[in-house]
Amino acid sequence: MKNRIIVEANSEYIPAQSNPVKEEYFFSYNIKIINNSNQRAKLLSRYWHITDGLGNSEDIHGPGVVGKTPKIRPGESFSYTSFCPIKTPIGSMEGSFRLVNEDKSEFEVEVKKFKLIAHQIFN
């Protein structure tokens, strides 16, 4: 089942919310969870491991995403956007989602590492 749920992730630097002088770099990230299985899956919780360019990391655990615990039907997807501040212009995020399918079995879906890069800093 877990190989049939796919997660796509991308990020974008938000210069208007950032303040490099104060070491505040603000990123948005968009997540798309695609259900390629033959069962409905409900998202229960999330886990994020966020690392800045100096190797400092933070772990975030919580229920649902953006206040929701969506049920994703077979062949459908759920997308959301959230935000992440870090203290350096470069960092990364990775993690997982915990879901449950119709037969009540819970499983984890990995979110592969993706980069947080403040492109505008280097232009």
pLDDT digit string, tens, across residues 76-106: 999 999 999 999 999 999 999 999 999 999 9
Give per-residue pLDDT as tens, 14-62.
999 999 999 999 999 999 999 999 999 999 999 999 999 999 999 999 9
Nearest to 17 by CA among 9, 33, 28: 28
Interval 57-78: pLDDT, tens: 999 999 999 999 999 999 999 9
What per-residue confidence (pLDDT) applies to 3? 59
Whole-model pTM: value is 0.91
Q: Which two tokens stand for residue 66?
A: 């953006």
What domains sit in the chain, N to C, each tagged with a CATH number?
Answer: 2-117 (2.60.40.1470)
Mean pLDDT across the stretch 102-112? 95
DSSP string, 30-87: EEEEEE-SSS-EEEEEEEEEEEETTS-EEEEEEESBTTB--EE-TT-EEEEEEEEEES
